[in-house]
Amino acid sequence: MTYHSGRHFLQLPGPTNVPDRVLRAMARPTIDHRGPEFRELTLGLRDALRWVFGTRHPVLVYPSSATGAWESALANALSPGDRVLAFAQGFFADKWVRVAKGFGLDVRVEAQDPRRAVDPDRVADILRADEGETIKAVLLVHDETSTGVLSDVEAVGRAVRDADHPALFMVDAVSSLATVDYRHDAWGVDVTVAGSQKGLMLPPGLAFTAVGLHALEAHVSATLPRAYWDWTEQIAFNARGFFPYTPATNLLYGLQESLAMLREEGLDAVFARHARFAAATRRAVTAWGLETFAADPAEAAPGLTAVMVPEGHDADALRWKILERFDMSLGTGLGPFKGKLFRIGHLGDLNDLTLMGTLAGVEMALELAGVPHTPGGVAAAMEVLVGADGP
Peptide bond into 15 cis (omega under 30): yes
Residue 267: what pLDDT? 97
Is residue 148 very low, low, confident or very high in pLDDT (cuts 50, 70, 90)? very high
- Of the pLDDT bands very low, low, confident and very high (cuts 50, 70, 90), residue 4 is confident
- The three-state DSSP-derived secondary structure of 117-180 is CCCHHHHHHHHHHCCCCCEEEEEEECEECCCCEECCHHHHHHHHHHCCCCCEEEEECCCCCCCC
Q: Is the pLDDT of residue 38 over 80?
A: yes
Over residues 226-269, the pLDDT tens digits come to 999 999 999 999 999 999 999 999 999 999 999 999 999 999 99
Give the confidence band of 1 by pLDDT, cuts at 50, 70, 90. low
Domain 31-263 in CATH 3.60.21.10? The answer is no
Average pLDDT (356-370) is 97
Beta bridge partners, 226, equal none
Residues in the chain: 391
Determine the 3-state secondary structure of 34 from DSSP: coil
Secondary structure class of 306 (helix, strand, coil) = strand
- For position 120, what pLDDT does the model report? 98
Query: pLDDT at position 2, please?
Result: 77
- Residue-level pLDDT at 113: 98
pLDDT digits (tens, 9 = 90+) for 157-189: 999 999 999 999 999 999 999 999 999 999 999
Q: pLDDT tens for residues 15-36? A: 999 999 999 999 999 999 999 9
Mean pLDDT of 205-223: 98
Q: Provide DSSP, 171-240.
A: EE-TTTTTTS---TTTTT-SEEEEESSSTT---S-EEEEEE-HHHHHHHHH--S--STT-HHHHHHHHHT
Distance CA 233, CA 306 (A): 40
Q: Output the pLDDT for position 310.
A: 97
What average pLDDT does this structure show over 37-63?
97
Q: What is the pLDDT of residue 389?
A: 45
Q: Where are the domains of the chain?
A: 9-16+266-385, 31-263
User: What was the pLDDT predicted at 388?
Assistant: 45
CATH 3.90.1150.10 is held by the domain 9-16+266-385:
yes
Give 3's pLDDT tier (boundaries 50, 70, 90): confident
List, for residues 275-293, the tens digit of each pLDDT value: 999 999 999 999 999 999 9
Average pLDDT over residues 39-68: 97
In the prediction, which pLDDT does 391 show?
A: 42
Instruction: Quote the pTM value.
Output: 0.96
